[in-house]
Amino acid sequence: MIEQIREIAQKTKVASRALVNVSTLQKNQFLNHLAEILESDKEEILAENRRDVSRADQSGIKKSLLDRLSLNEKRIREMSQGLQEVASLPDPVGEVINGVKRPNGLIIHRVRVPLGVIAIIYEARPNVTIDSIGLGIKSGNALLLRGSSLALFSNQILVKKAKQALTRSGLPSDSVNLLGSGKHEEVELLLSLRGLIDVVIPRGGGELIQTVVKNSQIPVIETGVGNCHIYLDASANFSMAEKIVINAKTQRPSVCNACETLLVHQAVAADFLPRIGKSLIEKGVEIRGCEKTKALIDDAQVADEEDWYAEYLDLILAVKVVAGIEEAIEHIDRYGSHHSEAIVTEDYQSALRFLQEVDAAAVYVNASTRFTDGGQFGMGAEIGISTQKLHARGPMGIRELTTTKFMVYGLGQIRE
């Protein structure tokens, strides 16, 4: 198997070198061609996706994971629109970030260039296949994709369509390749191909991400799990807070930017918790709370220590009453995943303190955490939400999939 994977990686590497010289026009043509193909061939794509969904359903996976796996006409349309939005964005490749002329006459430009070959290791979300391809090609990178076996048929048909669009646009078909066996040893072998792959980006749950981080011989951009919090301050507008909490928890609970923990200031807990508890329970949410929460919401279960760390990805919400903003920030610092955190408040000083002191990729005042998304941030799509601090942080769009190169122009200068 290692020789087969190495051969695929080598072909992808060769394609990455060709992509360096591809024009913005060609890249945009590819994106628009693929967007058209997704729409015109949606019935074929949906048929392959149904094969995956049927197998997954029979295996008994959680409904939230089944939702991530499933495609429909709306989701295909959104994937197509995402590609068109990426096509409309400025091409980052070749951008001169800054330049200087030295006293000796050397002209030095710092220029944005592609990373090269990016390996994406991800779970059962077919939309990640298209997001990765669109962003990767626009930023001049070649893609080596390794999706979940649960989404095997969906990924195969989507990569097939991408290769059709690549050929139609005059780009190397090996600019996108898929490892298709779905066997776990593929990941271990992939992570050993230093020199053929430039960067690995894992997208999925904590176990997958940590496996990649611990075992990769290739640089990793870590996309973290989303244990996201909303803190309700003493001055919060209850109507606003209720809308934000309901949206952040129930609009799509299976994604990483959904709220997993609600923290409520003790001064307003007695008034707000019965109200929000009723609304959440009507939406089918299971509440796991501290003792004070349990006293105010009859149907709440008592939370244990693991609940504060949990990324449920389901209709479950941990709730805790806190003494104030300081305890809220301390709780987030201890249990959070540095993804997305929000405060609901009418107090300017509380908002400012939360923004400055909370260590996360995205910090919100009076808005749902569900907005941490490349499309919502104007990037067209995203390759993932980086929760680390080096190279990139937050939603990663086309600019985050580039690095820099110093280009130095001389007239025969030598160093004395």
Q: Which domains does the chain have, with CATH numbers?
A: 2-223+396-409 (3.40.605.10), 228-371 (3.40.309.10)
pLDDT of residue 255: 87
Sign of CA dihedral 274, 278, 281, 283: negative
pLDDT of residue 375: 79
Provide the edge-to-edge strand list for the sheet that holds 316-322: 301-302, 286-289, 316-322, 259-265, 228-232, 340-344, 362-365
pLDDT of residue 79: 94
What tokens appear for 244 in the block? 């934000």
pLDDT of residue 204: 80
- pTM tops 0.75: yes
pLDDT of residue 384: 85
d(C-alpha 162, C-alpha 32), whole Å? 11
Q: Where are the beta strands (DSSP E) in 69-195?
A: 96-101, 107-114, 117-122, 142-146, 176-178
Please list, in sequence order, all residues whose beta carbon lies within 8 angstroms of the beta carbon of residue 117, skipping any fewer than 6 positions away: 9, 12, 13, 16, 141, 142, 143, 144, 196, 197, 198, 199
pLDDT in tens, the chain (416 residues): 788 999 999 999 999 999 999 999 999 999 999 999 999 999 999 999 999 999 999 988 888 788 889 999 999 999 999 999 999 999 999 999 999 999 999 999 999 999 999 999 998 889 999 999 999 999 999 999 999 989 999 999 999 999 999 999 999 999 999 997 667 788 889 999 999 999 999 988 778 888 999 999 999 998 878 999 999 999 999 999 999 999 999 999 988 999 999 999 999 999 999 999 999 999 999 999 999 999 999 999 999 999 999 999 899 999 999 999 999 999 999 999 999 999 999 999 999 999 999 999 999 999 999 999 887 888 777 888 898 888 889 999 999 999 999 999 999 999 98
